[in-house]
Structure 1
Amino acid sequence: MATLARRHLPAAVADEWIALIRPALHLRPAESGEPEVARLGGLPALPEHVTWPLWEGHGPLSFVASIDCERLPSHALDIALPAEGILLFFYRHPRWDDGTVIESSAPETQAGARVVYLPPGTQTAEREPPEGTNPYPLVRLAADVIASGPDWEHPALRAALDRVSDEDRAFMDDPMNSDPFRMAMGEVNLELGPQHRVGGYADPIQGSVEVDVARAQLGGRVAYDDPALHEEAQRWTLLAQIDSDDNADMVWGDRGALYWLIRREDLAAERWQAASFTWQCY
């Protein structure tokens, strides 16, 4: 990644970008005999007293993925994931109802996605989904540690550009200059397969996902150039990304991805209800 930055970015910008590289976990299909750390689809294991997540007025959410925090090599990350327990991710796909989608300009639509955390020792049983949704095929996942870098519009990178010359900032402000770098990074990710991730930076499709969730937090109606938007965006970090994946029959719009983000202080305090969601597609 550092080599690509040196090749496609001005030297001072490349230095700033490389300094922001963070570890992430790439989730991929587990090979035979390999430890399973997460799952796509299948049936979730839920406690008897926990009701299936619901978007009022729209219907039940679909179960998307689970992550076993104890098996996950989270020591390699720079975020404070629980050492034990299970994280479950749910999402209401628009195809199940009237086509209503989750949008940053409409914060009330955040009810269409959910994170559920099950502490260690919780008694659970597999739960069939309620009427109005269907389970996705089960895919067992293993994890590899990868390096991840900020996207072109990431608020941390934009803040770092205050330290470079006016000429270098002008280079970054011209969207045409992003294409060679984005294409090179895209080729690296293409070799990895679907971009299912935990921690690190997201692999966005239509601009910074941190800005998306920050806009929802600020009420949905805020100008892109408002400093408050980018200040809020820097508080958010990726919790999990679930890509479109043919093996799990998951297609989010036009080959898009789902993103759950959380503030670091909320993650450390295990305030899962404070997580925010966005999605993007081509």
Structure 2
Amino acid sequence: MNGERIGKLTEALRGFLRNEIRIECGAPVSDLPVGTSKFGGLPDCPEDFVWPEYEGEELEAEKEEEEYTVSFRRKGHIRAPHAFLGQIDCREASRFDSEGLLPRDGLLSFFYELNTMRWGFDPADRGCARVYWFPSETKLRPTPVPKDAVLPDFMGGKPIPGMPLSFSAHSSCMSYDDFCETEEEREILRLFPGARFWEDFDAAVKRIGWDEDDWGDRHKLLGWPDVIQEAMQFDCEAVTSGIYMGDGSGMDRLTRDEKIAMGKKARAEWILLFQMGTIRADGFELMWGDCGHLYFWIRREDLKNRDFSRIWLMMQCG
């Protein structure tokens, strides 16, 4: 009977499978050709590119007594240029995009302001991350970092080294947190003793062939996010609608029907564009909180229209 239940759960999960493009980093290279897919280094941008900035509360790292544990405190107000995270050659990456979601050419560039390290729960976080798409006909050149750029203490004063990227296509299975947002979960859950559902969900995911072992360091385009805390689509829709989601106060403003409607809209519209995990290279490490991820979210329609001006960033960590 248990095998039959897991079988039904497995089939339900198969219906939600997506394609993800996993990203692997090569060893740092000091001089990469313009337009190369890479993390770190200098971005390749048009001559008239205006480097993005964000204004907010600066963070300062504080080491805890436990080994490898770092916490942060607010240090003061700052207006600082974003850090360049990486760029994707869409002509190369789109070969692994079986759903045809990404641009077929051009360069996608990702930026994030590291000194404030916003989480994406506050409408005021708008602009802490930026994504740019430069079509293939755009003339690009290596663009120097602004002179007033400040590297946060927790990076050890080192910029992200330039690392070439490679891509591969994989099936992407939704997390338990995302599954809990679906109608199918409500139907399937009745078949399972509540205390065992976590185990049964993991068993179903393994049947599909999903590998969770390396999720902490996983970088990828598209697919389902590797969720650390909770599903994020609702938060993306709520925060971009002006609702603060850092505590329960924002939700208290919504009626039950409004929450249901917003949840359906969020699940239909918001998809993962890019996930970045911990970056490690030759003694350099950049970790998002405690083994966390950055998630760049985008509305389906915006991605279709190549409008990257309304992306939303979320950060989660352990």
TM bracket, shorter-chain basis: 0.7 to 0.9
**Contact 1:91–1:114, Cα closer than 8 Å, also in 2:** yes
Q: Which has the higher helix share?
A: 1
Structure 1 range deviating more: 149-158 or 234-243: 149-158
Shift of 1:227: 1.2
Task: Number of aligned residue pairs: give it.
Answer: 265
| Mapped contact 2:295–2:313 kept (Cα < 8 A) | yes
Residues 40-49 or 210-219, more deviating: 210-219
Alignment counterpart, residue 110 of structure 2, candidates 78, 89, 112: 89
In structure 2, the residue matched to 1:103 is: 120
Matched residue of 1:144: which SS? strand
Higher Cα radius of gyration = 2
| 2:251 maps to 1:222 | yes
Q: CA deviation at 1:73?
A: 3.6
TM-score (norm 1): 0.82
Distance 1:181 1:211 in 2: 22
Question: How much does 1:215 deviate?
Answer: 2.7
Change (3 A) 1:274 1:196: same
Match of 1:222, as an amino acid? Answer: M
Alignment partner, residue 207 of structure 1: 230
User: Does the 8 Å contact 1:30/1:141 carry over to 2?
Assistant: yes
Q: SS of the residue aligned with 1:204? A: coil
How far apart are the structure 1 equivalents of 2:304 and 2:220? 19
Match of 1:178 in 2: 198
Aligned partner of 1:14 among 10, 15, 21:
10
- Matched residue type, 2:108: L
Rounded Cα–Cα distance in structure 1 between residues aligned with 2:221 and 2:3: 27
Q: Aligned-pair distance for 1:14?
A: 2.1
Q: Distance in 2 between matches of 1:222 and 1:8?
A: 38
Q: Deviations over 1:88-117 (max 9, x none)?
A: 000111xx2xx462332x112121111111
Q: Does 1:245 find its partner at 2:279? A: yes
Distance 1:46 1:7, change over 3 A: farther
Identical pairs, percent: 24
| Conserved 8 A contact 1:259-1:278 | yes
Q: Structure 1, residues 38-78: CA drift from partner, whole Å, max 9, x if none?
A: 21111101112111011145311100011000111445332
Native 8 Å contact 2:9 2:201 kept in 1: no
Aligned-residue CA RMSD (Å): 3.2
Structure 1 contact 37–142 (Cα < 8 Å) conserved: no
SS in 2 for 1:115: strand
> Structure 1 runs of 4+ off > 4 angstroms?
6-9, 179-187
Secondary structure of the 2:182 match is helix
Aligned CA distance change for structure 1 residues 204 and 79 (closer, same or farther; 3 Å): farther
- Residues 1:12 and 1:180: Cα distance change in structure 2 (over 3 Å): closer
Larger strand percent: 2
Find the counterpart in structure 2 of residue 133 from structure 1: 150
| Structure 1 unaligned residues grouped into runs of 5+ | 1-5
Instruction: Give the corresponding residue for 1:120.
Output: 136
Unpaired runs of 5+ residues, structure 2, are 28-34, 57-78, 152-158, 245-249
- Residues 166 and 87 (structure 1 numbering): CA distance in 2 closer, same or farther, change over 3 Å? same
Q: What is the identity, as a one-letter code, of the residue corresponding to 1:153?
A: D
